[in-house]
Amino acid sequence: MSYLPEGMPSPHPTLDDAPFWAACQEKRLVIRHCDHCAKFFHPPLPTCPHCGSNTLSWRAVSGRGSVYTYTIGHHAVHPALKGHPPYNIAIVLLDDAGDVRLISNVVDADPQEMHIGLPVEVCFEAAGDGTLLPRFRKLDESSPRTGATE
């Protein structure tokens, strides 16, 4: 059972981001890292948007972060969402990847629980075609945090 219905679109990996999605299939989160300026960036590009270097690697990250902002979708903008209850979309700022954010959903948070700063941790859920997507679960607000962000 996934947070959103099976008929939702699935990812289409490209030359730039196939390793990101391949890692997700192993329930690991990896983010593009520039080995020249030592900054993370997302989404994957052929060169670093901070310094322009093409000396890039993939770095595993903890999967912990916090809600930077969020919305609640009430309107069925896709046929698969017809009759679906309101759902959250969160911009998750990762704890240990510079200013990298992932667009995702907090799968166990009711709309009224959503707030900026909510700590979350990655989990993986199948899209309609079985591809594993990174989504997030809420963490206890008092749990120790892994790292600083920019």
Partner 1 sequence: MTFPIKAWPARLQPVIIGVGETEYRKRGGHNGQNELSLCVQAIHNAATDAGISPQEIEGYTSFGFERHEPAVVQAALAAPLLRYAAIVWGGGGGGCAGSVTLAASAVATGQARFAVAYRSICQGQHERYGQFRERPLWGSYVGPYGMMSPALMTSLTYRRFMHEHGTGPEHLAELATSFRANAQANPRAVMRKNLTRDDYFASRMIADPFRLYDCCLETDGAAAVIVTTREIAEKLGRPAVPILAAAQASGPRWTLGPMGSHNMPLDTYATINSADVAKVVFEQAGIMPADIQVAQLYDAFTGLVIMALQDYGLCEKGGAARLIESGALRTGGSLPVNTAGGLHSEAYLHGMNLIIEAVRQARGDATLQVPNVRHSLVTSGGGTGHKSALILGAA
Q: Kindly state whether residue 139 participates in binding partner 1, applying the rule CB under 8 A.
A: no
CA nearest neighbour of 92 among 118, 76, 125, 68? 68
Piece of 7-15, 54-62, 140-148 that binds partner 1 (CB under 8 A): 7-15
52: left (phi > 0), else alpha (psi -120 to 50), else beta?
left
Q: Kindly state whether residue 99 participates in binding partner 1, applying the rule CB under 8 A.
A: yes
CA geometry: angle 81, 83, 89, nearest 5 deg: 45
**List 37, 38, 51, 103, residue binding partner 1 (CB under 8 A):** 103
Between the CA atoms of 105, 38, 141 and 27, what dihedral angle is there, to the nearest 10 degrees?
50
**List 78, 110, 113, 137, residue binding partner 1 (CB under 8 A):** 78
61 C-beta neighbours (distance < 10 Å), count: 22
Sign, CA torsion 4/79/29/48: negative
**List 54, 55, 57, 71, residue binding partner 1 (CB under 8 A):** 71
Q: Kindly state whether residue 100 participates in binding partner 1, applying the rule CB under 8 A.
A: yes
Write the binding mask 27 to 66 for partner 1: x where contact by CB under 8 A, - elsewhere.
Answer: --------------xxx-----xx----------------
* Rounded least distance, CB 87 to partner 1, Å: 6
Rounded Cα gap, residues 41 and 38, in angstroms: 10
Residues in touch with partner 1 (CB under 8 A): 4, 8-14, 17, 21, 41-43, 49-50, 68-75, 77-78, 81, 86-87, 89, 91, 99-105, 111, 116, 127, 133, 135, 150
